[in-house]
Amino acid sequence: MGMIRPRRFFAFSLSLVVACYLCLAIWVDLDWQNAIYRVWYINGFPNSSEAGEIACYYDTSHNTLEQFSPPVASDKGIFFLETSCHSEPGIHLTPRQACAVESAAKMNPTMDVYVLFPSPVVDNISHPSHLQELLSYTNVRLRHLPMDLYFRDSPLAEWYSSGILRTSRWPRSHASDILRYLTLWKFGGIYLDLDVVVTKSLKDLTNFAGAESDEDVAAGVLSFNSGGVGHKLAEACVTELRRDFRGYDWGHNGPGIITKVLKSTCGTENVREMTPKRCQGFRVFPPHIFYPIPWRKWRLYFDTQQSEETLHRLARSRAIHVWNKFSTQANITVGSKQPYAVIASKYCPRVYANVGAFF
């Protein structure tokens, strides 16, 4: 019983400190969620279960996959990131992820397509057939990304070494957000999410993103050159992440960052008004180019009843984002008229033909 009172006193004192801090934050007009997060972080309360999602980043002793390192041809790379940790050996890419990579390689044969893994990879087992087919493309490169080394001598070096990423509610997703901006800051080129299927060549495009709505620019398809306005914008994104990383906010560190930077650069709050003239040459494509199906209607990619209409809608796109966060459990029957199946058969034919009955 003697320990109860001190514990209650500690809990009461901590609650009082938090309440005072939040009142002060509101008084000076700070974002109240950011205030909560700062109290949580300052008092050393990381979400340990979520932090475990990226524990593998700090153990590279078992990696056998070739390390990603310069030289990388500036502005000539397409980059994917797979930021999961896996306890089993082998290269872990699902058939749909492999489809995204194949589509980029197939539609851009003169560009190098990189898939970067922060997790150590023990590549000493035979690959599944869909992965063997993916690796038959000579421009596909799977590489391990040593995190400590990758952040070193970058604007985010101190930020990463502080360990703040481990306090995120979604550390794996936020690692992907951080790494896409840092990679384009380092090398220039194009970043694509692993649920983006490329349907037209991207090699003649540079310095671009895609709008998801009139209010938001998405971060699933991004391009910055290694010099000029592209590098300037990439640096602005990296700087903003260092200044205002939000581990409690799912979308802030990805689409929120590019949207905020472009609103400042282009001098407008309206995404429709983000023209190359206003944005120093940077281009924001309308939603139908990369996000033809809004996330709320993701089921259209799987609906055979509206297949013809959906495929007609996709015809003008350069790539399609299939919203894996929502659609990963939805079945696709190989050979069906489901729009996703039709797209896969055309733009990732080698992977699609080697997945069995379901894709």
163-202 per-position pLDDT tens digit: 999 999 999 999 999 999 999 999 999 999 999 999 999 9
Residues 6-36 have pLDDT tens digits of 444 444 454 555 455 545 544 444 444 444 4
- pTM here? 0.86
Tell me: cis bond preceding 71? Omega within 30 of 0 counts.
yes
Q: Return residue ranges of the chain for CATH 3.90.550.20.
A: 77-287
Which residues, in sequence order, are CB contacts of 339 under 8 Å at separation 6+? 300, 301, 302, 303, 307, 310, 311, 314
Rounded distance between C-alpha atoms, residue 354 and residue 337, angstroms:
18
Question: Which secondary-structure segment (H or E) carries 14?
Answer: helix 4-27
Buried b (16+ CB within 10 A) or exposed e, 262-274: bbebbeeeebeeb
Beta strand pairing call for 189-192 and 196-198: unpaired
Residues 100-124 have pLDDT tens digits of 999 999 999 999 999 999 999 988 7
104 token code pair: 């980029």
Which residues, in sequence order, are CB contacts of 344 under 8 Å at separation 6+? 99, 197, 332, 351, 352, 359
DSSP code at position 214: S
The span from the first CA to the last CA of the chain, in angstroms, equals 60
CB 276 within 8 A of CB 293: no
pLDDT of residue 251: 94
Fold held by 77-287: Spore Coat Polysaccharide Biosynthesis Protein SpsA; Chain A (3.90.550)
> How high is the mean pLDDT of the chain?
89
CB 218 within 8 A of CB 209: yes
pLDDT band at 214 (very low <50, low <70, confident <90, very high): confident
